[in-house]
Structure 1
Amino acid sequence: MTHSSHPLVRFYLKVGLIRQILWGLIFGIILAAVSKDTALAMSLIGGLFINALKSVAPVLVLILVIASISNHQHGKQANMRPLITLYFAGMMLAALLATIASFLFPSQISFGDTLNNLEFTPPSGIAAVLKTLLEKMIDNPINALINANYIGLIIWGAGIGLALRHASQSTKTMMNDLSYAISFIVRVIIRFAPLGVFGLVASTLAETGFGELLKYAHLLVVLVSCMLFVALVINPLLAYLVMHKNPYPLVFTSLKESAIPAFFTRSSAANIPVNMEICKKYKMDEDTYSVAVPLGAAINMSGAAVTITVLTLATVNSMPASAGIHVDIYSAVLLCIVTSVCACGASGIAGGSLLLIPVACSMFGIPNEISAKVIGIGIAIGVIQDSVETALNSSSDVVYIGAVSSAAQKKQNNTTKN
């Protein structure tokens, strides 16, 4: 019996993932209201989903970093310099905004019994954070995989990727295929997100009460508000600094023609043809956008920076006082830098940024068991959050490319006149 011949499987695959997650959320709430004991038993389903995410995330990070760096192509880097500067500045400012918002409107998450019997080793200050980062950077790669040491995995991935840039094309192709294979496994796990969300929501609400829904709503409002601020204030400001004219016609065009399709596809990679057509339609520099659109879809992730920062600080805020985890101004700045680097590595699949939350959480000594559950909570609110995040990421590409193209055209016109 193949998957295509079974009506239930065909129906499951036919219905959109967003709708399925929404159903899982609703059914989880209903079950928690109707039968508390049954809802508590659903923690097994939620736990299996979280464990699956926890097991695949370290391998995903390592392989994605190796593949992306080893397959990076030379050429036209000088033309990309202002764009890459805009990308990183946008992600840094987005992370900084998310940090400020998290301090002004702190979010919390309930972890229930997950916190029991866990040992916390929080850093005592920025010196301890830096010492921890340095120690994790030189960890044995096998040990880093076993213990989900994401900082170490990124360093090893970057090192292997740089070395493989001089390898044969067949080796690079193999790494690319391996990256695709791991991403495929992640997609399979994400297809079970509706069941995982159902189990997580039902068991969490049965254990902590329906006040948890207000925490989810608060967290979602902070996330979406930050992303809207980036789209309507930060992106126009950066564009103005480059093009020196009113950026809002370009911003509103990008929101209308790029953000709306991206909102529904929930994939920056899937929106590449749309952005290509927009750039062509508005006569942007072809040499720039032909390289910048695919590049931006891979590394320009302001929305991911917001998501990783807000959920990491919500996790920190939710830790018990006995854990002794505090975030000072220096740690917050370092978090923004780490978050921006993590955002660049967000995979092209829906919800990819959530899988990098453990990297940021590890800065504060938060165990992998906790950060893995945060991923599950992120998927629960991802019905809205991930769509808005992708819309921001994709529309930002058009804004930045348009700004750089406008500045280049203006410079060329001035040169011609002289």
Structure 2
Amino acid sequence: MKNLVRKWNEISLVKQIIIGMAIGILLALTIPEAAQPIVLFGTLFVGALKAVAPVLVFFLVIGAIAQHKSGHKTNMKSIIVLYIFGTFLAGFIAVIVSFLFPVTITLATSAQELKPPGGVSEVLQNLLLNVVDNPVSALINANYIGILAWALALGFALKNAKDTTKSLISNFSDAISTVVKWVIKLAPLGIMGLVFESITVNGLESLLGYGKLLAVLLGCMLFVALVVNPLIVYTVTRKNPYPLVLTALKESGITAFFMRSSAANIPVNMRLCEKLGLDKDTYSVSIPLGATINMAGAAVTISVLTLAAVHTLDINVDLPTAFLLSIVSAVCAAGASGVAGGSLLLIPLACSLFGIPNDIAMQVVGVGFIIGVVQDSVETAINSSTDVIFTAAAEYRKQRLEGTM
């Protein structure tokens, strides 16, 4: 038994996860009823990550700011610029593709009871209200904007604290990071349970009627992941971007795909940044921030589904309005985490640009929920892996510039 455990531990985590996926698929296809209890593994794994992530972010950011040395650059400005530009570009690509390959849909009514935000101002207002949320409430509800705001404030307040206080915070941070490593070791079991549940509960039958829409959505997202992001990274770093991009997709994207939560994937991204040798002062802030505002996949979803409604209703769209949709989708995507229902509930806001009534827009949201088993998984994988990609790209750019000085 000890030899078996030792050999298992010698296998890389990614290979372990692939084995877990294979077992989950096999059980779902052969003995779905008998193997039903393994769903608990997935529920516990995601629950554990969601529980530890807010506390991890809180103490990591406080420690990073409190112990930050004057003159040490963290690249946060460059990373935020990459987040904003990458999200806008994703929405813009989605608009272009939607015009090149127009899709019409059969509207669904399953989202009629949901209430979308009234406008961009409401999205931004929700975002600002999250900043001033009670710190205890922010931790309990995993409000990462609020957690970041309080952690930054406390970090700056503790910059002049005694070394013993800073050491205590650092020890807490290290202890929580160790707990995270223990949780991540359970990823193969968790992914096995999540894959099993996804296949047995959702199936693929309901997706067949929306094949073309899914093809456009997934095609846009893959183009962003494999072409647009690498071009951005190359422009910034002047080096081959694919080793970084493929590593992030493999080690961050896979877990994010099955967990369908950028927040739950924060510990995974933190671990990957550490493995890549990135600056802890930077990634301890940029990763949780990216999980909130870096939403390229969400921008694609909002643009594609909105224009699917436009094509279904045979509405003529001029170029300025199409460009405006790219901007609106980027802004909405950045605020999606503060709205119940995520990116899908921001579709009515984008539809209002074209005068589409709210009741029809909510039917488009219903379509989004039907295809969500695939759309949301790929969207989260793109969103979360890009956090690591842009954080690393900014640091590699800094190293390149310092090397030329």
Deviation at 1:152, TM superposition (A): 1.7
Deviation at 1:218, TM superposition (A): 8.7
Cα distance in 1, alignment partners of residues 393 and 119 from structure 2: 37
Among 339, 345, 362, the alignment partner of 2:337 is 362
Query: Which has the larger displacement, 171-180 or 84-93?
Result: 84-93
The corresponding residue for 1:97 is 89
Cα distance in 2, alignment partners of residues 86 and 124 from structure 1: 32
Cα distance in 2, alignment partners of residues 261 and 152 from structure 1: 30
Compared with structure 1, are the counterparts of its residues 387 and 74 closer, same or farther at alpha carbon in structure 2 (3 Å cutoff)? Answer: same
Check if 1:268 corresponds to 2:273: yes
Check if 1:334 corresponds to 2:325: no
Cα distance in 2, alignment partners of residues 154 and 387 from structure 1: 20
Q: Say which SS state the counterpart of residue 34 (structure 2) adopts.
A: helix
The corresponding residue for 1:191 is 185
Cα distance in 2, alignment partners of residues 69 and 178 from structure 1: 15
Compared with structure 1, are the counterparts of its residues 333 and 315 closer, same or farther at alpha carbon in structure 2 (3 Å cutoff)? Answer: closer
Alpha-carbon contact 1:94-1:305 (below 8 Å) kept: no
Deviation at 1:202, TM superposition (A): 0.9
Show the 5 A alignment for 1:306-317. 309-310=295-296, 312=298
Identity of aligned residues (%): 28
The corresponding residue for 2:132 is 138
Compared with structure 1, are the counterparts of its residues 39 and 150 closer, same or farther at alpha carbon in structure 2 (3 Å cutoff)? Answer: same
Compared with structure 1, are the counterparts of its residues 30 and 128 closer, same or farther at alpha carbon in structure 2 (3 Å cutoff)? Answer: same
Compared with structure 1, are the counterparts of its residues 186 and 26 closer, same or farther at alpha carbon in structure 2 (3 Å cutoff)? Answer: same
Show the 5 A alignment for 1:32-51. 32-51=28-47
The corresponding residue for 2:150 is 156
Alpha-carbon contact 1:223-1:306 (below 8 Å) kept: no
Alpha-carbon contact 2:20-2:188 (below 8 Å) kept: yes
Check if 1:67 corresponds to 2:63: yes
Alpha-carbon contact 1:260-1:391 (below 8 Å) kept: no
Structure 1 residue identity aligned to 2:54: P
Cα distance in 2, alignment partners of residues 68 and 15 from structure 1: 32
Deviation at 1:46, TM superposition (A): 1.6
TM-score if structure 2 supplies the norm length?
Answer: 0.62
Show the 5 A alignment for 1:121-136. 122-136=116-130
Cα distance in 1, alignment partners of residues 337 and 330 from structure 2: 15
Unmatched runs of 5 consecutive residues or more in structure 2: 99-109, 253-271, 310-323, 343-371
Compared with structure 1, are the counterparts of its residues 139 and 380 closer, same or farther at alpha carbon in structure 2 (3 Å cutoff)? Answer: closer
The corresponding residue for 1:324 is none
Deviation at 1:129, TM superposition (A): 1.5
Deviation at 1:201, TM superposition (A): 0.8
Alpha-carbon contact 1:259-1:394 (below 8 Å) kept: no
Check if 1:181 corresponds to 2:178: no
Q: CA RMSD in A?
A: 4.7
Deviation at 1:198, TM superposition (A): 0.7
Cα distance in 1, alignment partners of residues 150 and 157 from structure 2: 11
Compared with structure 1, are the counterparts of its residues 207 and 50 closer, same or farther at alpha carbon in structure 2 (3 Å cutoff)? Answer: same
The corresponding residue for 1:147 is 141
Compared with structure 1, are the counterparts of its residues 52 and 174 closer, same or farther at alpha carbon in structure 2 (3 Å cutoff)? Answer: same
Unmatched runs of 5 consecutive residues or more in structure 1: 107-115, 240-249, 276-292, 322-326, 339-359, 368-372, 410-418
Alpha-carbon contact 2:56-2:173 (below 8 Å) kept: yes
Cα distance in 1, alignment partners of residues 385 and 339 from structure 2: 28
Among 54, 65, 81, the alignment partner of 1:58 is 54
Q: Say which SS state the counterpart of residue 251 (structure 1) adopts.
A: coil
Deviations 1:106-161 (A, max 9, x none): 9xxxxxxxxx99x9654221221122223222222122222222222221111111
Cα distance in 2, alignment partners of residues 41 and 104 from structure 1: 45
Structure 1 residue identity aligned to 2:396: V
TM-score if structure 1 supplies the norm length?
Answer: 0.60
Compared with structure 1, are the counterparts of its residues 300 and 55 closer, same or farther at alpha carbon in structure 2 (3 Å cutoff)? Answer: closer
Among 397, 400, 403, the alignment partner of 1:402 is 400
Q: Say which SS state the counterpart of residue 38 (structure 1) adopts.
A: coil
Among 224, 227, 230, the alignment partner of 1:226 is 224
Compared with structure 1, are the counterparts of its residues 56 and 387 closer, same or farther at alpha carbon in structure 2 (3 Å cutoff)? Answer: closer
Cα distance in 2, alignment partners of residues 217 and 7 from structure 1: 45
Tell me the number of residue pairs that the alignment of Structure 1 and Structure 2 aligns. Answer: 322
Compared with structure 1, are the counterparts of its residues 153 and 260 closer, same or farther at alpha carbon in structure 2 (3 Å cutoff)? Answer: closer
